[in-house]
């Protein structure tokens, strides 16, 4: 665990998040990862098995978007095992996070994480996002591995506030997806994920109706 603690601490420093992600939050990220590993043996929540790989590919990758999330509420679509939603909930107590996934075992796992880590700013929904209704719209909707940009926007439009923002986490710059979506992003942010030798981008769209 000490090696993982050091790896996470160095990653937080490299992301410039030392004043945001305190020692307690880092411990909670590691506790989440520990739960993910334990449940993964039975429920197969992620193909990533190695703890160091899990920390780099899942935790640090999720932490890379934290500076670009605003206070308010956030919906994480197709959250799977809780990425990036649970990491955001841990490190941004000023954000009310809702995660949604169609797979029941993944929703059960996320609810267990909420209970064990005491994440009062996290709500977990089991269901299809296109059928989901909320009493008040979200100011931000994020996805990490959900769908192409055009479909992501189409399925979640009814849930996003006017002037709210879609945040699409992508690998290499998705030029073809952007062309098919037929909209111009408000921002294209190149993410630098520590210890990860791969391109990562955050594509931001505004809901201007």
Query: 160-173: per-residue pLDDT in tens?
Result: 999 999 999 999 99
pLDDT for 195 beyond 90? no
pLDDT reported for residue 85: 98
The mean per-residue pLDDT over the stretch 195-207 comes to: 94
- Is 153 one of the annotated binding-site residues? no
- How far, in Å, CA of 128 to CA of 100, rounded? 8
The neighbour count for residue 13, using CB atoms within 10 Å, is 12
pLDDT reported for residue 17: 97
Q: Is the dihedral of CA 17, 21, 27, 32 positive or negative?
A: negative
- Is 130 one of the annotated binding-site residues? yes
The percentage of the chain sitting over the pLDDT mark of 70, rounded to a whole number, equals 99
pLDDT reported for residue 60: 97
Q: How many helices (H) and strands (E) does the chain have?
A: 8, 7
The mean per-residue pLDDT over the stretch 129-144 comes to: 96
195-to-15, 85, 95 alpha-carbon distances in Å: 11, 21, 27
pLDDT reported for residue 113: 98
- How far, in Å, CA of 66 to CA of 11, rounded? 13
pLDDT reported for residue 1: 66
Query: Lowest-confidence range among 27-31, 42-46, 127-131, 182-186?
Result: 42-46
Spell out the domain ranges in the chain: 2-206
Per the prediction, the chain carries an average pLDDT of: 95
- Is 59 one of the annotated binding-site residues? no
- How far, in Å, CA of 175 to CA of 177, rounded? 6
Model pLDDT for residues 42-68, shown as the tens digit of each residue: 888 888 889 999 999 999 999 999 999
pLDDT reported for residue 64: 97
> Which CATH number is 2-206's, of 3.40.605.10, 3.40.50.150, 3.40.50.10420, 3.30.230.70?
3.40.50.150
């Amino acid at each position: 665990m000490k090696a993982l603690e050091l790896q996470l601490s160095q990653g937080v420093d490299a992301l410039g998040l030392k004043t945001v992600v305190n020692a307690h939050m880092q411990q909670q990220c590691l506790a989440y990862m520990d739960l993910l590993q334990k449940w993964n043996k039975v429920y197969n929540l992620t193909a990533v098995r190695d703890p160091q790989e899990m920390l780099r590919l899942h935790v640090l990758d999720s932490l890379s978007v934290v500076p670009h999330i605003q206070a308010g509420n956030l919906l994480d679509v197709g959250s799977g095992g809780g990425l990036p939603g649970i990491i955001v909930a841990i490190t941004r107590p000023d954000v009310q996070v809702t995660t949604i996934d169609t797979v029941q075992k993944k929703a059960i796992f996320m609810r267990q994480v909420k209970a064990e880590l005491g994440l009062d700013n996290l709500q977990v929904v089991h269901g299809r996002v296109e059928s989901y209704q909320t009493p008040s719209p979200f100011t931000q909707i994020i996805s990490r591995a959900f769908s192409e940009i055009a479909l992501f926007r189409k399925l979640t439009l009814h849930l996003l506030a006017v002037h709210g923002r879609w945040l699409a986490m992508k690998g290499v710059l998705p030029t073809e997806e952007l062309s098919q979506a037929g909209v111009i992003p408000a921002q294209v942010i190149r993410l630098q994920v520590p210890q990860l030798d791969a391109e990562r981008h955050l594509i931001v769209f505004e809901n201007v109706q």
